[in-house]
Amino acid sequence: MNENQGRAVATLDGVSMRRYTTGQVILDDIDWTVRSGEHWALLGPNGAGKTSILRLVGATNFPTTGTVEVLGHRLGRVDVRELRALIGHVSTSQRVPLDLPGHAVVLTGHSGTVQPLWKTYDDEVRERAHALLAELQVKELADRPYGVCSGGQRARLLIARALMADPALLLLDEPFNALDLPSREDLIDTMRQLALGRPELATVTVTHHLEELSPAISHALLLREGRVLARGAVDDVLTKDLMTSCFGRPIEVTRHAGRWLARSGDQV
């Protein structure tokens, strides 16, 4: 695990969010810092505020109160369009034309567009896209239409796309959603290799399942009803007691060879 104190890439200080129309509290007094080289898991029940936090550090939403700093820039004092271009974001809900071949999908990460802007991609950019396909172990998908790729292949293409901007921060919003077991394991290994190959990269992964966490995960944040229940080194946070408090039912937590397993504690 990476326990060093790298530079802060995202900091939330006293952050709260309320729904404008109803005044409903979405996040309440959140303090949290992500540093370079750290790999965070963001966990909690549905409605706990995980996606809202991801939108804040992804510069796609603003806090009601408190401050958010991302890559040294405070939200509200920076052109968020330029800031977003420096943050890698992966979500299975991203719009990708199904007929676009894998290499073109990755190229769109350079221009930040849905469709390729072919005139903006010189030879160096095109070669970088090929190199990322190789790094993510999907170079055979260069000419394959996105629409016929498996869920796991699509996830790795989207990660390669996000890395085109060479971000210091990579946000992954439920990247394992709807993956079968082999695809899930391939993606977990991809995340492990990515952490090894890019020691300065910080990642935040939203997930519902501990089984989806790669051995590279170094830290965890537990959310419940919009508040931080626990945050810190993964071994200190993913415990039986804290997971039980977070999800409101007995949870047994075990770890083997760097991988996590959670199950209901009242099962025989």
Last residue of a domain, one of 130, 165, 200: 165
| Separation CA 138–CA 50 (nearest Å) | 29
263, 211 in Cβ contact below 8 A? no
pLDDT at 217: 95
- 154 and 184, same domain (yes or no): no
Structural domain of 39:
1-86+167-268
Mean pLDDT, the chain, integer: 91
- Could you tell me if 183 and 233 lie in one domain? yes
Domain shared by 176 and 239, yes or no? yes
Indicate whether 112 and 152 sit together in one domain.
yes
Residues 238 and 109 grouped into a single domain: no
Same domain membership, residue 172 and residue 116? no
Asked if pLDDT for residue 22 goes beyond 80, the answer is no
Percentage helix, strand, coil, to 5, in the chain? 35, 30, 40
Sheet holding 73-74, edge to edge: 25-35, 8-18, 65-70, 73-74
Which one is predicted more confidently, 25 or 69? 69
Number of independent structural domains in the chain: 2
- Least Cα distance to 216 among 238, 240, 184, 190 occurs for 190
The one-character DSSP state at 145 is B
Residues 98 and 61 in one domain: no
Q: What is the tens place of the pLDDT at every residue in 129-140?
A: 999 999 999 999
148 & 221 share domain: no
Q: Are residues 133 and 243 in the same domain?
A: no
* pLDDT for position 27: 94
User: Do 155 and 176 sit in the same domain of this protein?
Assistant: no
Give which of 211, 191, 188, 210 is closest to 201, Cα–Cα. Answer: 191
With cut-offs at 50, 70 and 90, classify the pLDDT of residue 5: low
Q: Which two tokens stand for residue 60?
A: 């796609």
Given a cut of 70, is residue 252 above it in pLDDT?
A: yes
Q: For residues 31 and 76, is the Cβ–Cβ distance under 8 A?
A: no
DSSP, collapsed to helix, strand or coil, labels residue 59 as: coil
User: For the purposes of burial, counting CB atoms within 10 Å of the CB of 256, is it exposed (0-12), middle (13-18) or buried (19 or more)?
Assistant: exposed
- How far, in whole angstroms, is CA 72 from its chain's centroid? 19
CATH number at residue 12: 3.40.50.300
Output the pTM of the full model.
0.90
Cα 228 to Cα 2, 6, 135, 197, 202: the distances in Å are 22, 22, 35, 31, 20
The yes-or-no verdict on residue 266 having pLDDT over 70 is: no
pLDDT tens per residue across span 190-229? 999 999 999 999 999 999 889 999 999 999 999 999 999 9
Q: Please identify which residue in the block is written with the tokens 């979405």.
A: 26
pLDDT tens, residue by residue, 156-170 = 999 999 999 899 999
Copy the structure tokens of residue 54. 């991801």
Percentage, residues of the chain above pLDDT 90: 74
Residues 207 and 146 in one domain: no
138 to each of 88, 92, 132, 142, 143, how far by Cα in Å? Answer: 18, 17, 9, 8, 11
Q: Would strands 39-43 and 219-224 be described as parallel, antiparallel, or unpaired?
A: parallel
Query: Which of 196, 229, 201 has the alpha carbon at shortest distance from 214?
Result: 196
Residue 200, Cβ density class (10 Å: 0-12 exposed, 13-18 middle, ≥19 buried): exposed
Q: Which of 148, 165, 182 is the last residue of a domain?
A: 165
DSSP 218-235: -EEEEEETTEEEEEEEHH
Q: Which of 109, 131, 165 is the last residue of a domain?
A: 165
Which pLDDT score is estimated for 3? 45
